[in-house]
């Protein structure tokens, strides 16, 4: 039994090391040298928001005060009110007089159900820009955000059709805030490294640029329609499948390309969010994404089994210590590089404790997320099988 455990752990660990090192190598790649572009573009920022009265003003203050160089010839902000029942629409309407902001009401335009994806389609349908930039109602980008994303797109000289960039929570200096910040910094490092190594794994819809024609072509492809959230990941899959991995790039331009957002305030809300992330995994079709997700789960689940098994078999504790140590060494450089890039080196204090807790967290979340129903802003996704009497329900990420 012990021999089989060691062989299984070795195979999983070797594959895990190869994947993590390739991602780390991508993260460390140099940015393309910037240059002066002779081309100018039109840009439409799309914000689909639901019950964001507490943060929408800060977002619109930033979007209406963007630094727009000559390479951006036209600029507009389209906010789609996604069935909000608070003051979101009222606050947005106060900005409409500035001539840049347009408010659309999803309830008046689309009365056949509700979802973020439908709201995004409404916004894109009204957009005039050749480039679409997406963010969320609780985010705050820098005043150079649009310029940074557009320059990154133009510097790729037609090779990139979609540009992703980082989203991290505000640093609120609490235990819950620190854990979310560390996790998001590492996720952004993995996202950047995977994309820049030519094997995209994920992206965040709160900081995304894409050609309008590409978005429309990708949106026409099937995938993820039954889920209330996950529009960003399903879009990534479609663009990757239709245009190739090289069509996606990650912008690492420091604070200028960074979007900050509000962290969740309770442990329960964090747990629900993580379960919701996992819940969409069965709908993914990209083999590389499924392989890496499965590998991360197997690595953590193997460590969990060997740790729990040591309660009954003393020899298993050595197996756990060795493989846990190898995983920590493998992860360390990528984790350290990621949080150092975001200027949060102090978070390394949490590294070892969270690595240990992560064994339980990742394993449990992966299992529960596939079977439990999840919710987003009062909208629950309920799994039901297709039948002749009706369609699978995902009531309105």
308 and 247, same structural domain?
no
CA atoms 188, 193, 194, 196: torsion sign: positive
142 and 18, same structural domain?
no
> How many H helices and E strands in the chain?
13, 12
Question: Does residue 104 form part of some domain?
Answer: yes
Q: Which two tokens stand for residue 42?
A: 């039109």
Give the pLDDT band (50/70/90) at residue 271.
Answer: confident
Mean pLDDT, residues 330-353 taken together:
95
Give the pLDDT band (50/70/90) at residue 397.
Answer: very low
Comparing CA positions, the residue from 189, 249, 68, 98 lying closest to residue 79 is 98
Global pTM?
0.89
Is residue 34's pLDDT more than 70? no
158 and 235, same structural domain?
yes
Question: Does residue 83 form part of some domain?
Answer: yes
Instruction: Report the C-alpha gap between 79 and 16 in whole angstroms.
Output: 42
Instruction: Report the C-alpha gap between 8 and 306 in whole angstroms.
Output: 11
Comparing CA positions, the residue from 163, 165, 155, 99 lying closest to residue 131 is 163
Question: Does residue 296 form part of some domain?
Answer: yes
Mean pLDDT, residues 84-110 taken together:
89
The listed range with the strongest mean pLDDT (106-120, 145-159, 223-237, 365-379) is 145-159
Comparing CA positions, the residue from 366, 26, 336, 334 lying closest to residue 200 is 26
Of the chain, the percentage scoring pLDDT greater than 90 comes to: 70
Q: Which two tokens stand for residue 206?
A: 């709160």
Give the pLDDT band (50/70/90) at residue 343.
Answer: very high
pLDDT tens-place string over residues 234-264: 999 999 999 999 999 999 988 999 999 988 8
Give the pLDDT band (50/70/90) at residue 185.
Answer: very high
Residue 280: its pLDDT value, please? 79
Is residue 35's pLDDT more than 70? no
Residue 229: its pLDDT value, please? 59
Residue 33: its pLDDT value, please? 53
Instruction: Report the C-alpha gap between 318 and 314 in whole angstroms.
Output: 8
Instruction: Report the C-alpha gap between 62 and 276 in whole angstroms.
Output: 29
Question: Does residue 233 form part of some domain?
Answer: yes
320 and 217, same structural domain?
no
Residue 103: its pLDDT value, please? 96
Is residue 388's pLDDT more than 50? no
What is the average pLDDT value for the chain, to the nearest integer? 88
Q: Which domain holds residue 50?
A: 33-166+204-263
100 contacts: CB under 8 Å, gap ≥ 6: 63, 64, 75, 76, 77
18 and 38, same structural domain?
no
216 and 332, same structural domain?
no
Residue 97: its pLDDT value, please? 83
CATH number of the domain residue 104 falls in: 3.90.550.10
- Measured at the CA of 340, the angle between CA 338 and CA 345, to 5 degrees, comes to 115
141 and 215, same structural domain?
yes
More confidently predicted of 220 and 58:
58
Tell me 260's DSSP state: E
Question: Does residue 15 form part of some domain?
Answer: yes
224: left (phi over 0), alpha (psi -120 to 50) or beta: left
Question: Does residue 393 form part of some domain?
Answer: no
44 and 89, same structural domain?
yes
11 and 148, same structural domain?
no
65 and 10, same structural domain?
no
Question: Does residue 341 form part of some domain?
Answer: yes
223 and 294, same structural domain?
no
Beta strands per DSSP E along the chain: 41-49, 72-81, 101-105, 131-135, 139-141, 162-164, 167-169, 208-211, 248-250, 259-261, 374-376, 379-381
96 and 10, same structural domain?
no
- In the chain, how many domains are there? 2
Mean pLDDT, residues 201-207 taken together:
95
Question: Does residue 239 form part of some domain?
Answer: yes
């Amino acid at each position: 039994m012990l021999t089989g455990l060691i062989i299984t752990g070795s195979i999983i660990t070797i594959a895990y090391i190869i994947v993590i090192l390739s991602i780390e190598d991508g993260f460390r790649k140099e940015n393309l040298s910037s240059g002066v572009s002779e081309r100018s573009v039109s840009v439409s920022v799309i914000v689909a928001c639901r019950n964001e009265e507490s943060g929408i003003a800060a977002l619109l203050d930033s979007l209406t005060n963007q630094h727009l160089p000559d390479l951006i010839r036209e600029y507009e902000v389209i906010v789609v009110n996604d069935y909000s029942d608070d003051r979101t629409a009222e606050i947005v309407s106060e900005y409409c007089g500035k001539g840049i902001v347009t408010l659309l009401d999803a309830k008046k335009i689309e009365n056949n159900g509700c979802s973020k994806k439908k709201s995004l389609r409404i916004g894109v349908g009204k957009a005039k820009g050749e480039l679409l930039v997406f963010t969320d109602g609780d985010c705050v980008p820098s005043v150079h955000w649009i310029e940074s994303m557009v320059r990154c797109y133009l510097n790729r000289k037609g090779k990139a059709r979609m540009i992703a960039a980082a989203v991290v929570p505000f640093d609120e200096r609490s235990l819950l805030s620190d854990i979310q910040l560390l996790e998001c910094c590492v996720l952004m490092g993995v996202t950047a490294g995977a994309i820049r190594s030519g094997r995209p794994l994920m992206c965040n819809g709160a900081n995304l640029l894409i050609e309008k024609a590409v978005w429309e072509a990708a949106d026409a492809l099937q995938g993820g329609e039954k889920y209330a959230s996950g529009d960003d990941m399903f879009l990534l899959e479609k663009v990757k499948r239709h245009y190739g991995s090289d069509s996606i790039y990650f912008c690492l331009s420091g604070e200028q390309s960074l979007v900050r957002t509000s962290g969740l305030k309770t442990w329960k809300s964090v747990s629900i969010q993580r379960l919701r992330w996992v819940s969409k995994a069965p709908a993914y079709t990209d083999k590389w994404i499924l392989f890496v997700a499965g590998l991360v789960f197997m690595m953590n689940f193997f460590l969990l089994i060997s740790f729990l098994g040591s309660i009954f078999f003393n020899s298993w504790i050595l197996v756990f210590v060795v493989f846990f140590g190898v995983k920590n060494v493998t992860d360390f450089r990528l984790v350290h590089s990621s949080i150092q890039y975001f200027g949060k080196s102090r978070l390394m204090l949490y590294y070892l404790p969270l690595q240990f807790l992560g064994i339980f967290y990742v394993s449990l979340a992966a299992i529960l997320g596939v079977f439990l129903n999840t919710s987003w802003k009062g909208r629950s996704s309920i799994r039901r099988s297709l039948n002749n009497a009706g369609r699978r329900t995902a009531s309105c990420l």
